[in-house]
């Protein structure tokens, strides 16, 4: 009799946690896909800015006008 109770509780808990984990894994999957899409579209949005910055850095390096700033050095290293 006690084995049947333990078995019943085990099956009940298994179904409860199975549904809970399925929902949480599905939520994490959706959140990950949304985050990836946000970063993808934001990279398209900032693409023009990054290209303009690299062109400005290249012009300054060719003209030897002044020492590039830290951000400009970062962009020149990143896109070299």
Return the pLDDT at 19: 80
Is this prediction's pTM over 0.85?
no
Total structural domains within the chain: 1
Return the pLDDT at 78: 67
Domain that holds residue 12: 2-78
pLDDT tens, position by position, 27-73: 999 999 999 999 999 988 888 888 888 888 777 777 766 666 777 77
Selection from 43, 73, 42 nearest residue 57 by Cα: 73
pLDDT tens, position by position, 2-27: 888 888 888 888 888 888 888 888 99
Q: How far apart are CA 71 and CA 54, in angstroms?
A: 11
């Amino acid at each position: 009799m006690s084995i049947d109770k333990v078995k019943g509780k085990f099956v009940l808990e298994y179904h409860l946690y199975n549904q809970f984990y399925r929902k949480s894994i599905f939520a994490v999957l959706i959140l990950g896909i949304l985050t990836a899409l946000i970063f993808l579209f934001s990279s398209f949005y900032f693409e023009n800015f990054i290209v303009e910055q690299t062109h400005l850095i290249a012009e300054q390096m060719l003209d030897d006008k002044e020492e590039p700033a830290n951000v400009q050095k970062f962009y020149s290293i990143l896109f070299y």
